[in-house]
């Protein structure tokens, strides 16, 4: 039997590689002769740079930039010829902030703009930006500020704009055209793990801001601020990007990259699948195992497990999903792509999904072992 394990990371618990190897170990406890192939996967969120690096010989470089709370951090990015690969999770990611300090009012994407400037100065003219796992909900104003866009409250310029500053903006001025002109002569591709619009019930604030520390009142307020801000951008640019699929990615960074940087939105999961040449591995497998930290109604909107499972079903393969927690088995079944789904934790314990790494790995090993006791 040949088993393909194509797991995404379990956020704040396991990397894609660690999750895949835990499943492999569990299977081999039952029968060491099973041919288990492990592939590192990502969809634009954390682990994207590692997944790309497993298929492309990129050179990893570091840049000192502003982190999500304006602290100085060294952010990694990849270079391959004239192409740059940027993972925003390494610049303004949720994992960079301890839980007690997570608050999308205070976080900024400024460092993303700093890294973009650096790769442009290095001569890169193809830029791939992984949008996912951000701590921000600033609609990209931090990034744009670093690239030369001025945001004003009346006649007072907002320095290092963050989420809370969206309420104040009443004037937008292009103050330095150098990098924006360079960007518009580049090929900018965003690798997104969601297809959400910018605002409304499916927008970045109401869907994702609560995961970043917002309560319901804050999320509703930020949605209103972003609606007001996006109207100003639409008036400024004479085009409305708010309803474009992926505009709500990474707290509105998708919107900013489309509107000001001519960015093209693509599925991060599909891009990684192509880079990994995963379809050939799927064709040769008997069973495909997918998973990530949490699977729910959002899974079918650009997440890795759904993208891999869809491709596997195209080739008539059995697909098993293993997650840290599954919020709704009904939603997973409705997709029609998973033959069976299992979680390490009960849905009741959903808030404790980010477990200590050694416990998570051991739990995944044990679950995989017990599952394959039935299969083998």
Question: Domain boundary at 268, 292, 316, which?
Answer: 268
Q: Is the pTM of this model over 0.75?
A: yes
Domain range for 284: 2-41+278-375
Q: Do the domain assignments include residue 273?
A: no
23 belongs to a structural domain: yes
- How crowded is residue 310: how many other Cβ atoms within 10 Å of its Cβ? 17
Q: What would the pLDDT profile of 204-230 be if each residue is shown by its tens digit?
A: 999 999 999 999 999 999 999 999 999
For every residue of 179-198, DSSP letters joined together read: HHHHHTTSEEEEEES----S
Residue whose token pair is 């744009």: 144
Residue range 159-202, pLDDT digits in tens? 999 999 999 999 999 999 999 999 989 999 999 988 899 999 99
Same domain as 66, residue 24: no
| Residue 346, pLDDT above cutoff 70 | no
Domain holding 285: CATH number?
A: 3.40.50.10350
Residues 308 and 371 reside in one and the same domain: yes
Residues 69 and 153 in one domain: yes
What span, in angstroms and rounded, lies between the C-alpha atoms of 175 and 150?
6
CATH code, domain carrying 204: 3.90.1510.10
- The answer to whether residue 236 is domain-embedded is yes
Do both 263 and 337 map to the same domain?
Answer: no
Task: With respect to residue 313, please indicate whether it lies within any of the assigned structural domains.
Answer: yes
Please report the pLDDT score of residue 348 as a whole number. 46
Q: Of 157, 154, 164, 149, whose CA–CA distance to 70 is shortest?
A: 164
| Same domain, yes or no: 102 and 164 | yes
Residue 76 DSSP class: E
Q: Do 329 and 295 contact (CB within 8 A), yes or no?
A: no
Verify that 115 and 94 share a domain, yes or no: yes
Residue 112 has φ and ψ, to the nearest 5°, of -65, -45
Name the packing angle between helices 253-261 and 216-237 (round to 10°): 10
Same domain? 30 vs 55: no
The rounded distance, in Å, linking the Cα atoms of 24 and 5 is 8
What's the confidence (pLDDT) of residue 357?
75
Say yes or no: 93 and 216 in one domain: yes
User: What whole-number percentage of the chain has pLDDT above 70?
Assistant: 97
Please tell me the distance from the alpha carbon of residue 82 to that of residue 71, in angstroms, as a whole number.
29
Examine residue 185 and state whether it is found in any structural domain, yes or no.
yes
Q: Which pair of tokens denotes residue 31?
A: 């029968």
186 and 287 in a single domain? The answer is no
Q: What tens digit of pLDDT does each residue of 5-24 get?
A: 999 998 878 999 999 999 99
Residue linked to tokens 């192409």: 83
Contact 253/110 with Cβ under 8 angstroms? no
* pLDDT on residue 83: 96
- Rounded to 10°, the helix 357-375/16-30 angle is 40
Model pLDDT, residue 355:
57
**Beta-carbon count within 10 A of 202 CB:** 15
* Residue whose pair of structure tokens reads 């709500």 in the numeric block: 248
Domain membership of residue 318 (yes or no) is: yes
Closest-CA residue to 102 (of 92, 111, 94): 94
**140 and 67 within one domain:** yes
Domain match, 21 and 107 both? no
What is the per-residue DSSP string for 281-320?
Answer: HHHT-SEEEEE-SEESTTTTTT-HHHHHHHHHHHTT-EEE
């Amino acid at each position: 039997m040949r088993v393909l394990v194509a797991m995404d990371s379990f956020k704040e618990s396991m990397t894609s590689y660690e999750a895949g190897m835990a499943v492999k170990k569990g299977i081999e406890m039952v029968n060491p002769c099973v041919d288990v192939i492990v592939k590192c996967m990502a969809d634009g969120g954390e682990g994207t740079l590692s997944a790309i690096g497993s298929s492309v010989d990129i050179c990893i470089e570091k840049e000192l930039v502003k982190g999500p709370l304006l602290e100085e951090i060294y952010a990694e990015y990849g270079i391959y010829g004239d192409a740059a690969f940027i993972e925003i999770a390494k610049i303004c990611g949720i994992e960079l902030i301890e839980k007690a300090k997570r608050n999308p009012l205070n976080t900024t994407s400024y460092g993303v703009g700093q890294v973009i400037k650096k790769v442009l100065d290095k001569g890169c003219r193809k830029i791939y930006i992984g949008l996912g796992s951000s701590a921000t909900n600033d609609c990209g104003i931090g990034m744009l500020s670093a690239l030369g866009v001025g945001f004003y409250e009346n006649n007072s310029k907002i320095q290092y704009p963050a989420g809370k500053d969206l309420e104040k903006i009443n004037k937008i001025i292009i103050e330095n055209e150098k990098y924006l002109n360079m960007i518009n002569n580049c090929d900018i591709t965003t690798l997104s793990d969601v297809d959400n619009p910018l605002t409304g019930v499916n927008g970045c604030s109401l869907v994702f801001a609560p995961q970043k520390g917002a309560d319901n009142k804050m999320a509703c307020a930020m949605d209103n601020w972003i609606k007001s801000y996006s109207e100003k951008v639409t008036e400024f640019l004479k085009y409305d990007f708010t309803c474009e699929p992926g505009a709500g990615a990474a707290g509105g960074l998708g919107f900013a990259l489309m509107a000001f940087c001519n960015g093209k939105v693509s599925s991060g999961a599909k891009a990684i699948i192509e880079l990994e040449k995963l379809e050939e591995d799927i064709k040769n497998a008997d069973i495909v195992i997918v998973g990530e930290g949490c699977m729910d109604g959002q899974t079918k909107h650009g997440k890795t497990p759904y993208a891999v499972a869809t491709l596997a079903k195209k080739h008539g393969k059995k697909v098993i999903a293993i997650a840290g927690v599954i919020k709704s088995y009904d939603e997973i079944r409705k997709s029609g792509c998973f033959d069976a789904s299992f979680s390490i934790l009960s849905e009741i314990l959903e808030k404790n999904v980010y477990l200590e790494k050694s416990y998570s790995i051991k739990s995944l090993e044990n679950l995989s072992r017990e599952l394959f006791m039935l299969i083998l």
